[in-house]
Amino acid sequence: MPEQSKEWLNETTLRVMTYKSGSFTFSLNLDIDRLQGTIDRVNDAQKRFNKMPGLPQIIDQMQEKILASSIYSTNTIEGGEFSPEETAQILKIDPAKIQNSAEKRLTNLKQAIDWINQHKHTTLTPNQGKCISLDDILTLHRLVSQDIDEKSNPPAQFRNNQPTQKTIVGDAEHGGIYRPPKCLADIEYLMFAWLEWLNAPVIMQQAVLIRASLAHYYFELIHPFWDGNGRTGRLIEMLILEQSGYHFSSSAVWKYYQENIHQYFALFNQCRKLAEKKEDVAHQGFVSFMIEGMFKTIDLLHDQGDDLIRFLLYKNALNDARKNKRLSERQIQLIELYMAEAIIVSPTELYKRPIVQILFKGKTERTYYRDIEGIVKAGFLNELEGKLYYPFI
């Protein structure tokens, strides 16, 4: 049986020989110059996003929305069947009251994200990574796997496949089947080697986007746990990004992965096969995919933030109109009806609704249309082709 050994071939490449799983090589394998333009765009967008007004109403609403979206996405990647709306509702339940394992997976993910947020850095440092430890990895897997009725997946314990046990990753549709290391001694050795490479000075000085992406990629190749590797791998990526100030985008990017799930899975296999052929830029596809996803994600976050700011300004203006009696209470209630239902209807269609009939009981139809005219003139409802709509649909 070969002895375990490690050798740094150069300052960015660590080759590892295991007992039973052959050799592994941790390396960049990238054309960084080709990536740099997109990296710069991501960092510029993140810097601008981090400077968004830190109003509690904006932060709280964005945090709640992104949390539910991120958890829905990462859970769906692993086969979860809850809808985005069901996910959001389950996350509002006290985890102590949840017994169902499928629901527990969602609240476990929330607790893991909460733990990561304790380590976040508010200032963007795109080329200054921070070390991660084996304890960080075990903590994340423990949080993901806790209190779930899966005896075959003990939290924070690495696999040790017996001769009859198989661990198979992937399928033919996404580039083929991959069999990760099975021997506990090999998995432990590879995990320590992976962390040694990831925390090496030159790797720490790489763009954090590159380091986070490759941390995710190599973790999935080792596939150290019985279950939860996908969720844990994305959380590791999130931890590295949050440590360097990629706030919100660090988990929001999971939506991009879920929406492009076939490419996401296929690139793991594609890059693995290119690395086996010793291609110089074997990892370019996966890293480029992640960085492009980050750019598109942050762009969407900017839009969401801008919409929330406009919404707050709208509500302040509405409150001011109520306070200064520029609009009647009936008019305010009509506007709030549009806001609550996000409807687009003509004044005639709206007038037929029972709730509007109650609101205008004892008033003439002319009064109703005069109220509508005043609302539109004040700019609180927009009109298009005879229909009215709340401006933030």
Do 152 and 226 fall within a single domain? Answer: yes
Residue 320 is labelled as binding a ligand: no
* pLDDT, position 174: 82
Do 301 and 332 fall within a single domain? Answer: no
- 284-323 helix and 261-276 helix, angle to the nearest 10 degrees: 150
Give the 3-state secondary structure of residue 200.
coil
Task: Tell which phi-psi region holds residue 176, choosing left (phi > 0), alpha (psi between -120 and 50) or beta.
Answer: left
CATH number of 367's domain: 1.10.10
Residue 231 is labelled as binding a ligand: yes
Does residue 279 lie within any of the structural domains? Answer: yes
CATH number of 57's domain: 1.10.3290.10
Domain count, the chain: 2
Do 301 and 222 fall within a single domain? Answer: yes
Does residue 369 lie within any of the structural domains? Answer: yes
Do 205 and 348 fall within a single domain? Answer: no
Do 262 and 368 fall within a single domain? Answer: no
Query: Do 105 and 91 meet the contact criterion of CB atoms below 8 Å apart?
Result: no
Do 195 and 87 fall within a single domain? Answer: yes
Give the residue from 254, 273, 306 where a domain finishes.
306
Do 19 and 167 fall within a single domain? Answer: yes
Give the residue from 306, 340, 355 where a domain finishes.
306
Residue 229 is labelled as binding a ligand: yes
Do 246 and 359 fall within a single domain? Answer: no
Which residue type sits at 303?
A: D
Residue 149 is labelled as binding a ligand: no
Does residue 314 lie within any of the structural domains? Answer: no
Residue 232 is labelled as binding a ligand: yes
Does residue 317 lie within any of the structural domains? Answer: no
Scanning the structure block, which residue is given the tokens 């996405």?
A: 73
Residue 233 is labelled as binding a ligand: yes
Task: Tell which phi-psi region holds residue 289, choosing left (phi > 0), alpha (psi between -120 and 50) or beta.
Answer: alpha
Give the residue from 241, 271, 306 where a domain finishes.
306
Does residue 319 lie within any of the structural domains? Answer: no
d(CA 369, CA 373): 6
Please identify every residue annotated as catalytic: 223
Do 362 and 264 fall within a single domain? Answer: no
How confident is the chain (393 residues) per 10-residue block, as mean pLDDT?
89 96 96 98 95 75 93 96 95 90 96 96 93 98 90 90 87 84 96 98 97 98 96 98 97 98 95 95 98 98 89 90 93 87 83 92 94 93 86 72
Single out the residue of 30, 29, 19, 1 nearest to residue 190, CA to CA.
19
Single out the residue of 186, 188, 208 nearest to residue 131, CA to CA.
208
Do 146 and 228 fall within a single domain? Answer: yes
* pLDDT, position 164: 86
Does residue 321 lie within any of the structural domains? Answer: no
> Could you give the C-alpha distances from 355 to 255, 344, 358, 375, in angstroms and in order?
38, 16, 5, 18
Q: What range does the domain containing 297 cover? A: 5-306
CA torsion, ordered 230, 231, 236, 240, to nearest 10 deg: 110
* pLDDT, position 1: 58
Residue 125 is labelled as binding a ligand: no
